[in-house]
A and B are shown apart, each in its own frame.
Chain A
Amino acid sequence: MAQDVRYLSPVNIDIKKDKYCRFQKSGIKFVDYKDANFLLKLLNEQGKILPRRITGTSSKFQSRVNKAVKRARHIAILPYVGDQLR
């Protein structure tokens, strides 16, 4: 059973991309709840808010994102439960 696993291409394990806060990097100070296309980048395909550890957003802006998404859901710009968004 103990066979070596072989890959066709070399496996890159150590390459980690540095995460950064997209708001601080591009100097966005206000997260607009009216812009559905932008907020969609911070949601998964079910319409759930992606965690900070995945998007790299700073804590300050994550709370603003949360607020914006919740506002957008209230005025039916984003769905509360979705399927195959994106």
Chain B
Amino acid sequence: MNNYETVFILTPVLSEDQTKEAVKKFEEEIISLGGKLNNSESWGLKKLAYPIQKKTTGFYFLLDYEGEGNLVSELEVTFKRDERVMRFLTVKMDKHHQEWAEKRRSRMKSAKPA
């Protein structure tokens, strides 16, 4: 089992419900492939540093999960097939990255209730 982190960008033409539905699809995909979802973050609509598919903004999402290596390849196939996804990046987390992610998560949690 390894920890992975995926950042993906959805097209800005989608409505809010549609983005939620898309994210849910990927989250369920991870679980159905035998992974464990640790964190799911939405960064909202952000400006891109350069245009992708002639679009200058996009919805950013971050998924943080555990699983076997074949999960990643399966998941990336679904990312490629999905037209709503403009870009994605999956990264294997080393121990420093995991530490950082945990810190980040706890910071987000403490920020939310306040």
Interface residue ranges, A against B (CB under 8 Å): 29-30, 32-34, 36, 71, 73-82
Contact = CB atoms under 8 A, between A and B. Distances in A.
A77 B49 contact: yes
B96 A75 contact: no
Given A34-B7, A71-B89, A71-B91, A76 B96 contact: no
Contacts of A36: 49
B63 to A, nearest CB: 13
Contact of A32 (B52, B60, B100): B100
Q: Which of A73, A75, A76, A82 has the most CB of B within 10 A?
A: A76
Interface of B: 7, 9, 48-50, 52, 58, 60, 62, 87-89, 91, 94, 96-97, 99-100
A21 to B, nearest CB: 15
